[in-house]
Amino acid sequence: MNKTFSTLAAAAVLMASTAIAPALAQTTNPATPASPAAPADPAMGGNAAAPATSDTSADMAAGSGSYLTEQSETQISANDYIGKPVYNSADESIGDVNDLILETEGGIVAAVIGVGGFLGIGEKDVAVPMDLITMSRDTETNDVRLTTTETAESLEAAPEFMTLDDQQAAADSAATDASTTSATGTAPMPDTNATTPPTTQPNN
């Protein structure tokens, strides 16, 4: 009987300690609250700025007016160039602008003008530096006119402009041609001048 009673008492103590331990762990040494941020110094101009996150930066950019909402008179749209004819000093169209080349840091480097050919067939792209092209705008109609001091002959004689895609395609084509030539090879031709030894006929 005493053995059963002592076993029950030990079990009760074990259960009580298990139930009380989490409560004690939660009540001892509570975390110290973070100290509030120091008030901003009025002499420094008001509230202290919180560190900006990427979302905050985007919101600030939108709120600061950094996005354009309308084109100004000093700004030019790419559509003012692309597809427009370019005229020489004799007021003759010498080609149309097919593309604009921009630097990664910004700024237009050249206008790609398609010259020669007929209805786009046989046309060659020439990248003309922007300082050789003048743009004027009609203030009443907003029509754009592009002129250059270059001639049709000088552009047709100029080297063709190749984009990165054009350069890659040319390199791939050259590599394919080289591998095809090395793979097929050319078999040596038989020497027609070589003399063959005479054959001996058996005597009958």
Query: What pLDDT, on a 0 to 100 scale, did the predictor assign at position 56?
Result: 52
Q: Tell me whether residue 150 is exposed, middle or buried, using C-beta atoms within 10 angstroms of its C-beta: 0 to 12, 13 to 18, 19 or more.
A: buried
Instruction: Using the structure block, give the residue that is written with the tokens 């743009």.
Output: 135
Tokens of 31: 């975390």
What is the signed CA dihedral for 173, 175, 176, 182, rounded to 10 degrees?
150
For residue 12, the surrounding DSSP H or E stretch is: helix 2-27
pLDDT digits (tens, 9 = 90+) for 52-74: 454 555 555 455 568 989 988 88
- Could you tell me the pLDDT band of residue 83, with boundaries at 50, 70 and 90? very high
The pLDDT of residue 64 is 57
pLDDT in tens, 93-109: 999 999 999 999 888 99
Cβ proximity of 80 and 135 under 8 Å: yes
The DSSP letter of residue 52 is: P
pLDDT value at 145 more than 90: yes
Contact between 111 and 134 under an 8 Å Cβ cutoff? The reply is: no
Q: Note if the pTM is more than 0.95.
A: no
Residues 6+ apart with CB under 8 A from 42: none
What is the bridge-based pairing of β-strands 124-129 and 108-115?
antiparallel
Give me the phi and psi of 152, to 5 degrees please.
-60, -35
- Its CATH class, for the domain covering 78-157, is mainly beta
The pLDDT of residue 190 is above 90:
no
Quickly tell me which residue has 């050259």 as its tokens.
174
